[in-house]
Chains A and B, each alone.
Chain A
Amino acid sequence: MEFYRAHILVCRGTGCTASGSEQVFEAFEKEIEKQGLSKEVKVLLTGCLGLCELGPNIIIYPEGTYYCKVKAEDVPEIVEEHLVKGRIVERLLYKERTTEERMRALTDINFYKRQKRIALRNCGLINPEVIEEYIANDGYRALAKVLTEMTPQQVIDEITKSGLRGRGGGGFPTGRKWQFAKDAPGDIKYVVCNGDEGDPGAFMDRSILEGDPHTVLEAMAIAGYAIGAKEGYIYVRAEYPLAVKRLEIAIEQARERGLLGKNILGTGFDFDIFLRLGSGAFVCGEETALLASIEGRRGEPRPRPPFPAVAGLWGKPTLINNVETFANIPPIILNGAEWFASIGTERSKGTKVFAIGGKINNTGLVEIPMGTTLREVIYEIGGGIPNGKQFKAVQTGGPSGGCIPASLLDMPIEFDTLTQAGSMMGSGGMIVMDEDTCMVDIAKFFLTFTQDESCGKCPPCRIGTKRMLEILERITNGEGREGDIELLETLAKSIKASALCGLGQTAPNPVLSTLRYFRDEYEAHIKEKRCPAGACKALITYEIIADKCKGCGLCVKVCPVSAITGERRQPHAINKEKCLKCNSCFERCPFGAIVKK
């Protein structure tokens, strides 16, 4: 084996690739060749490090130096300075927002310090396209352990004892689910991995599939052994082409090495995994709809019971777990249930991966112990709200969740606390909203989403969400009526009680939670025909304050419809007839001379 004195890890996740990490990767290969370092320094691609916003991200080992926003043009300097002369390229180091300090190692920065990476343990550390790298990091050791040292029941007992709960939404105890599937009568059973990550704003499953695909394969094989299944299916969104590619490579490599297929590790256990691609239907994240889709049909949910553990794929007992849930399985087997149960809180064990986004300084993926408070996540890890704006709410749980206000920021993050607050854990999206976000508009946004994605099978969801959306549209258009709020509440209650599947049952949550915490905003829209956040187009007009306008003409340039006119160096004016209310001028004006009324 070759020995390299340094390794350059270039993130090739979707975020960094979009920011140009492929070019950075190629530039490193070229530059290293040029400098004659090919035998000393190795360039590797790796999965998501989490700080997607600062991409392309790279880490140079053995020191573990982290460089962000690296461009191909920076590469010769990094090679010359860091790798040849041994000097850190200060200007590319991460700058801590609070202290302005340049940080050398990824592990030292606030964004990472508070994290505990279990599900994401290999993301950003190994090359996901090389099985040996996974194996070198304890990969497939858990599978070997269960096949040679444990009975299926012991495996399930271990998972049950760990207290692991499903990471895809509802938080059902994983061990119990496995037990149901094991106890269900039948010779043919299936293991299914739900990779139909549909909640907008959540991308942890994508990162795991892209950055550490083998962990999912290994966990599915362990599950197969535990419940007595020989086949597994991974259902992935078609919107994640890179995850699909990495999974295909991983399955192929695992088969070649006898870690999937017949007689795994010579133990007589057979297990193989197949890929199925989604086709852009959010409802397919619901387990019965997902099974229908794997069977090649319209992804419509059906009533439960029977639960998939009893009658699932092609009518056979089926275990369905989410990607992140599976990623927790190998470490639990290797380190023991007690270890896992020692992390987190009484009723929510372990860690949870969150995708933090929206109006927050550090956007990206973080894995934190359960019980961490929202304030810690938003202010310490996330670095607070940009541009000196005021925090208004954090949305968790996607279209099934709700908006949590500032008064609850010190709440520990757990399955049950989030539910009590009118939201839910969901798959882990966490979108931060500031004073400029209108909560009625956000409720409308989510209802538009669920209305659009409703499969149409049951009337409460198909018609009920439509009626709710119409009311919200009316309110945001300044046509809200007395009694609309009460009508929304009545509709919400009956939809929650009567919809067929999780999509419909949770669809009213964004409306209910915003009504609970931000009722005054609804009232301002209805009674005063005013949008306090200045976001609802129908309720605002743009004006230029003559005293503040310097006549610089920047607004004239950005206006797509030439609605702004004025002499140079003289106060300008907006033609309200022409104005599209696109907000471009408002964002561009350096003097704060444009106001929304």
Chain B
Amino acid sequence: MGLAVKKDPGLEEKLKKVDEMLEKYKGKKGVLLQVLQEAQSIVGYLPIEVQKRVAEALNVTLSEVYSTVTFYSFFNLKPKGKYQIRSCIGTACYVKGADKVLARLEQELGIKVGDTTDDLKFSLDACRCVGACGLAPVLIINDDVYGRVTPDKVPEILKNYE
């Protein structure tokens, strides 16, 4: 996993913050998911260094942590781009052509779903229904929601993040 990942320059600093966060959960039971959510919000993803720390602090095995991390799609093992693109492929969006939007995104960015561009600028994910079905098809870039997206609007939307 993630052997080709570039070293995150701020990782040391973030790991310190993770350690501080872990302090308040030490010895508590049933908090693994919350801890992982918090850790990811600090680091941006969950590299093995973070998983080891979590396992140690909560006194669970690393395999348990890893199995939980890989079970939930919210957790990332690799760093995400500066701009995280999530293209909704829920039913309402799909019926209205979300697959074509996604294909155009892959083509424009030159990456496949689940990947990040080499310059760590964009990452592309497909997501299942954000509940904005009235605006289908929907595209989300970080916190910006774009509704009624068509494939030929994609290049224009991406320009906002140059």
Contacts and interface: CB of A to CB of B under 8 A. Distances in A.
B37 interface: yes
Given A18-B147, A19-B135, A239-B127, A358 B92 contact: yes
B104 A560 contact: yes
Nearest to B70: A298
Given A200-B91, A279-B73, A298-B71, A14 B128 contact: no
Contacts of B103: 580, 582
A17 B94 CA distance: 22
Interface string A329-368: 0000000000000000000000000010111000110000
A280 B72 contact: yes
Given A276-B34, A359-B95, A52 B133 contact: yes
Nearest to A281: B72
A201 B129 contact: yes
Contact of A18 (B29, B128, B135): B135
A354 B126 CA distance: 24
Contacts of B129: 198-203, 239
A: contact size bracket? 35 or more
B68 to A, nearest CB: 5
A584 B74 contact: no
Contacts of A238: 37, 74
Given A296-B30, A582-B103, A280 B133 contact: no
Interface string A489-515: 000000000000000000000000000
A197 B133 CA distance: 13
Contacts of A203: 129, 131-133
A304 interface: no
Nearest to A456: B71
B37 to A, nearest CB: 6
A15 B132 contact: yes
B151 interface: yes
Given A15-B135, A19-B135, A449 B37 contact: no
B95 A358 contact: yes
Nearest to B107: A560
A442 B90 CA distance: 11
Contacts of B32: 296-297
A72 B103 CA distance: 33
A280 B69 CA distance: 11
A207 B91 CA distance: 18
Nearest to A295: B30
B129 to A, nearest CB: 4
A52 B135 contact: yes
B12 to A, nearest CB: 26
A455 B71 contact: yes
Contacts of B147: 15, 18-19
B71 A299 contact: yes
A201 B134 CA distance: 9
A279 B95 contact: no
Interface in B54-89: 67-68, 71-75, 89
B31 interface: yes
B37 A357 contact: no
Interface stretch (A412-420, A429-437, A541-549): A429-437
Contacts of B68: 296-298
Nearest to A445: B94
A296 B31 contact: yes
A228 to B, nearest CB: 22
A236 to B, nearest CB: 12
Given A296-B32, A363-B92, A395-B91, A239 B131 contact: yes
Given A18-B145, A560-B151, A280 B92 contact: no
A207 B134 CA distance: 12
Interface in B97-145: 97, 100, 103-104, 107-108, 127-136, 138, 145
Contacts of A579: none
B115 to A, nearest CB: 17
A588 interface: yes
Contacts of A17: 145
Contacts of B14: none
B96 interface: yes
Contact of A355 (B31, B73, B93, B133): B133
Contact of B90 (A200, A279, A363, A580): A200
A61 to B, nearest CB: 23
Interface string B18-33: 0000000000011111
A112 to B, nearest CB: 15
Contacts of B132: 14-15, 18, 52, 203
A316 B74 CA distance: 28
B108 to A, nearest CB: 8
A357 B34 contact: no
Contacts of B94: 200, 445
B131 A582 contact: no
A587 B96 contact: no
A293 B36 CA distance: 12
Given A14-B131, A201-B133, A279 B74 contact: yes
Contacts of B93: 200
Contacts of A232: none
Given A14-B132, A18-B147, A558-B152, A583 B97 contact: yes
Contacts of A591: none
A400 B60 CA distance: 35
Interface string A22-34: 0000000000000
A439 to B, nearest CB: 12
Given A53-B134, A357-B92, A299 B145 contact: no
The listed residue with most B CB atoms (<10 A of its CB), out of A197, A201, A437, is A201
A240 B131 contact: yes
A410 B104 CA distance: 40
Closest 7 CB pairs of A and B: A52-B134, A200-B90, A203-B131, A18-B145, A357-B92, A279-B72, A200-B129
26 contacts: A14-B132, A200-B90, A200-B94, A200-B128, A203-B133, A281-B72, A281-B73, A282-B128, A296-B30, A296-B32, A357-B133, A358-B92, A358-B96, A359-B95, A359-B96, A363-B92, A364-B134, A395-B91, A431-B91, A431-B95, A433-B95, A453-B128, A560-B104, A560-B108, A584-B152, A587-B150
